[in-house]
């Protein structure tokens, strides 16, 4: 099984292309909302809340510059998870398109990798727009900031792959709302997006360390502030890569169970 993951064929490319065709119809709407969302965040919370926070001079940087890379990473996560729930579920349960794909030379690994590549691409489009808005707000302080794009892609993969695995085990769509409310939202609140996790009690801080989002936020923030330190960055990226790798294996196994046996 791992060998199959190591050697994806051209099939994954065809699956990626298939998802792009569907995206062609909706890309304008999603691009617009991925432009609007950072605008609202940066203008509303960044400038509004930031005005208060900056009076305390606790962060070492202005609040807007602190917040923006955090929300950028969180956007990568939320797109990755959104695209891995209903969209994946409907292809199992409602449209049954996976079944159609399996009647061709495509293999499970092609289906999983091709669609994950699409999810990562979706996240890339959104964070690219976000980065441009950030630049317009003067919150990009270094050329290193370009590095947030591959970082957000890795973060998206680290979140999407295990969610694919989860979705493949679901036989109703009722758990997705629960996942959003009790996993995605708390993770976004306690992963250092809005405030440094040093604020958290020690027990909760451990949860932040476990969350892939915190690692993504730390890297993105150090890059847009222009203060990356290499060993921590590599450590964070390594942790995300671990999530991605384990997620891929789990997703492959779950798809196999659902579709083949």
Partner 1 sequence: MRMIGCVSPPSAGSLHILGLDAATHGPAIRSRLGVVPQQDSLDVELSLAENLTVYARYFGIPRQVARDRAAELLKFVQLADRADSKVEPLSGGMKRRLTIARALVNEPDLVLLDEPTTGLDPQARHLVWERLYRLKQRGVTLVLTTHYMDEAEQLCDRLVVMDAGRIVAEGSPSQLIARYSSREVVELRFGLDDLAGPAGAELVKALEPLADRIEALPDRLLLYTDDGDAATAAVAARSIEPTSVLVRRSTLEDVFLHLTGRTLVD
Binding site for partner 1 (CB under 8 A): 10-11, 14-15, 17-18, 21-22, 25, 95-107, 259-261
For the bound state, the minimum distance from the C-beta of residue 31 to partner 1, rounded and expressed in Å, comes to 18
For the bound state, the minimum distance from the C-beta of residue 19 to partner 1, rounded and expressed in Å, comes to 10
Tokens of 234: 């590599």
Torsion from C-alpha of 250, 260, 15, 25, nearest 10 degrees: -100
Q: Which is nearer to partner 1, 104 or 227 (CB)?
A: 104
Contact 131/145 with Cβ under 8 angstroms?
yes
Separation CA 249–CA 136 (nearest Å): 40
Tokens of 73: 């990473």
For the bound state, the minimum distance from the C-beta of residue 22 to partner 1, rounded and expressed in Å, comes to 6
Separation CA 41–CA 58 (nearest Å): 21
For the bound state, the minimum distance from the C-beta of residue 245 to partner 1, rounded and expressed in Å, comes to 25
Q: Which is nearer to partner 1, 5 or 102 (CB)?
A: 102
Contact 194/70 with Cβ under 8 angstroms?
yes
Q: Which is nearer to partner 1, 3 or 21 (CB)?
A: 21
For the bound state, the minimum distance from the C-beta of residue 100 to partner 1, rounded and expressed in Å, comes to 4
Greatest C-alpha distance within the chain: 63
Q: Which is nearer to partner 1, 3 or 260 (CB)?
A: 260
Q: Which is nearer to partner 1, 98 or 190 (CB)?
A: 98
Q: Which is nearer to partner 1, 97 or 199 (CB)?
A: 97
Separation CA 155–CA 5 (nearest Å): 19
Q: Is 182 exposed, middle or buried (0-12, 13-18, 19+ CB in 10 A)?
A: exposed
Task: State the CB neighbour count (10 A cutoff) for residue 60.
Answer: 10
For the bound state, the minimum distance from the C-beta of residue 161 to partner 1, rounded and expressed in Å, comes to 22
């Amino acid at each position: 099984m791992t060998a199959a993951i190591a050697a994806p064929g051209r099939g994954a490319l065809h699956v990626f292309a298939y998802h792009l065709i569907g995206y062609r119809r909706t890309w304008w709407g999603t691009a617009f909302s991925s432009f609007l969302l950072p605008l609202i965040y940066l203008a509303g919370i960044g400038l509004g809340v930031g005005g208060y926070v900056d009076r305390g001079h606790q962060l070492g940087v202005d609040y807007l510059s602190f917040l923006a890379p955090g929300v950028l990473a969180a956007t990568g996560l939320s797109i990755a998870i959104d695209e891995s729930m209903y969209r994946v579920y409907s292809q199992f349960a409602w449209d049954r398109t996976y079944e159609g794909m399996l009647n061709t030379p495509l293999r499970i690994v092609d289906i999983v990798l091709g669609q994950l590549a699409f999810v990562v691409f979706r996240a890339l489009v959104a964070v690219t727009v976000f980065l441009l808005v950030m630049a317009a707000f003067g919150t990009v302080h270094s050329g290193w900031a370009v590095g947030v794009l591959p970082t957000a892609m890795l973060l998206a993969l680290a979140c999407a792959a295990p969610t694919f695995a989860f979705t493949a085990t679901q036989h109703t769509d009722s758990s997705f709302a629960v996942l959003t409310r009790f996993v995605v939202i708390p993770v976004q609140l306690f992963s250092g997006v809005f405030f440094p996790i040093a604020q958290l009690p020690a027990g909760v801080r451990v949860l932040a360390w476990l969350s892939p989002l915190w690692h993504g936020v730390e890297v993105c923030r150090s890059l847009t502030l222009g203060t990356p330190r290499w060993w921590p960055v590599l450590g964070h990226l390594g942790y995300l890569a671990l999530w991605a790798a384990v997620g891929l294996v789990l997703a492959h196994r779950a798809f196999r169970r659902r579709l083949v046996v």
